[in-house]
Amino acid sequence: MKSNTAKTQHQEQKALSILTTGASIAALGALSMTAPTLASAKAVQPSSADYSFTIEDKYKGSANRSLTKSGNNWKYDVKARVAGVATASQSSVFTLNGDNVSPTQASTTYKLLGVGRTHNLNFNAGKKQVASTYKGKTLKLNMAQQAFDDLSLEVQIRQDLLNGKFTGNYYMAKHDKIEKTPFRKSANTKITVPAGTFDTVRVDRVHDDDSRSTSFWLAPSLDYLPVKVSQINDGKKMDLELTKLN
């Protein structure tokens, strides 16, 4: 049975993981629709943005999200920290063909009070497999449908919204399985965050557990970049807001 200290550290680490999965959105391909030609597809643009976040009004921190491009190779990096307590870093490498995102590798590292874990994903589209390495163990996951990590997931959803192809039917590679990860669009709304006031589309992740909720407010004027994220996980509430576009 876990001690109270161990339970607290576990809850804090899970709360910290929201910084990447929350600030990111999670991912996928439009599975049932034909992709447009390369010339007609709209594409997200490279960007860098800063965020502030609070967890249960107890932990306050900052995060940076940077999307860069070299040729047809893209890299998405997220770095977040709660000063003196925890850090999180996440990266995803992928290609973008038309409006289809194809991840090749991803890595996530969390550290809480100097102790942390890393999860690596390597995607093999030819073999339709994902190699997931966690706690020193590598599992080969069969990828019947295109699967994504958290960050390439975000980019695919943004691509689908840009091109009018959002279906909400997505799959994500986890530690030990590939999991269906559905989303739905909600109302359009205008919201104000430290970076300004934006017209947004709200997208909610559909959870099996009614005690969990995840909502993203995405700005069409910023290629559907998240300007606000609100999430409840294991009883911990996290709010993340855009503070600056770099």
Single pTM value for the model: 0.83
Residue 72 in this model has a pLDDT that exceeds 50: yes
**Own/partner pairs, 126-131, CB within 8 angstroms, 24+ separation:** 130/173, 130/178
Weakest-pLDDT range from 6-15, 48-57, 73-82, 110-119 = 6-15
Residue 73 in this model has a pLDDT that exceeds 60: yes
CB 214 within 8 A of CB 208: no
Q: Residue 219: its pLDDT value, please?
A: 97
**Cα Rg for the chain, rounded, in angstroms?**
17
pLDDT digits (tens, 9 = 90+) for 203-239: 998 887 777 788 999 999 999 999 999 988 777 788 8
Residue 132 in this model has a pLDDT that exceeds 90: yes
Residue 31 in this model has a pLDDT that exceeds 50: no
d(CA 103, CA 155): 10
Both tokens assigned to 33:
């629709």
